[in-house]
Amino acid sequence: MQWAWVAEYFPNFIDGIVITLKMLGLSIAIGMALAIPIGLVQVTGPRWLAMLARAFCTIIRGTPLLIQLWLLYYGLGSLFPLVPEIRNSFLWPLLRDAFPYAVLAFSLSVAGYEGEIMRGAFKGVPKGELEAARAFGMSRFTLLRRIWLPRALQNVLPTLAGEFVLTLKATPLAATITVFDVYGVGTLVRQETYRVYEPLLVVAGIYLCLTALIVLFFRWLEQRIPRPA
């Protein structure tokens, strides 16, 4: 085992951690924002919309994330240049970069898995509470904003820590489309130093620390948020 390379690549790993955390944060934020309507329409929406949401969840959960990622980056990415309007638009620099594709793929994945969980959470809110709110004359939207959504979110909070860890564990896939996250930096080190195990062990160690941080953060958060009686 040789560790002399660690000092040289230390800044790269810091950059990698920043990129990994950026991907994680953006994907969870966008994914959860999508998951709420996807869960809601399955409980209360019109039939066709509910079916659409259901199909989306089935497709996301039934295909490997790696294939979804490659379909977006190599597949869609190879179609965009064929359209001159896109090529000349302000979006083009963004569409040439791999990072947005990675965030999009992970967001859709979070939306698919968490959408299914949100469906259960919306269903799990006691009927009596919703009827009481209606009896007080709350409109549908007020009811959703004041009672239904907060109660559902409270129910999914414990699963959210797991979702963060799962998404963190999925982020290394982005390195296969040239994003230099923690794993990508590890691959770079392996290619440049010809060491096999040491960079992998460092990468594994970094992910272990990040996982531990997520778990500790959620333990702290759960103590601060009042639980339903």
CB of 196 to another protein, least distance (A): 5
Considering the complex, state which of residue 78 and residue 223 has its C-beta at the smaller distance from another protein.
78
Q: Distance (Å, rounded) from C-alpha 25 to C-alpha 13? A: 18
Residue 183 touches another protein, criterion: CB under 8 A: yes
Residue 111 touches another protein, criterion: CB under 8 A: no
Residue 172 touches another protein, criterion: CB under 8 A: yes
Residue 79 touches another protein, criterion: CB under 8 A: yes
Residue 95 touches another protein, criterion: CB under 8 A: no
Which distant-in-sequence residues (6+ apart) come within 8 Å of 86 by Cβ?
80, 92, 95
DSSP, res 189: H
Q: Figure out which of the listed residues 11, 29, 51, 74 binds another protein, where binding follows CB under 8 A.
A: 74
Residue 191 touches another protein, criterion: CB under 8 A: no
Please name the amino acid found at residue 207.
Y
Residue 82 touches another protein, criterion: CB under 8 A: yes
Q: Figure out which of the listed residues 66, 91, 94, 216 binds another protein, where binding follows CB under 8 A.
A: 66
Residue 68 touches another protein, criterion: CB under 8 A: yes
| 92 contacts 84 by C-beta, under 8 angstroms | no
- Exposure of 73 by Cβ count < 10 A (0-12 exposed, 13-18 middle, 19+ buried)? buried
- Distinct helix (H) and strand (E) counts, the chain: 12, 0
Q: What is the DSSP string of 102-149?
A: HHHHHHHHHHHHHHHHHHHHHHHS-HHHHHHHHHTT--HHHHIIIIIH
CB of 80 to another protein, least distance (A): 10
Q: Of 23-62, which residues contact another protein (CB under 8 A)?
A: 58-59, 61-62
Give the C-alpha distances (Å, rounded to integers) separating 14 from 17, 28, 173, 187: 5, 21, 18, 15
CB of 96 to another protein, least distance (A): 15
Residue 67 touches another protein, criterion: CB under 8 A: yes
Residue 132 touches another protein, criterion: CB under 8 A: no
Q: Of 152-171, which residues contact another protein (CB under 8 A)?
A: 165, 168-171
Residue 63 touches another protein, criterion: CB under 8 A: yes
CA 197 to the chain's CA centroid: 29
Chain contacts with another protein (rule: CB under 8 A): 58-59, 61-68, 70-71, 74-79, 82, 165, 168-173, 175-176, 183, 186, 196-197, 200-201, 203-204, 207-208, 211-212
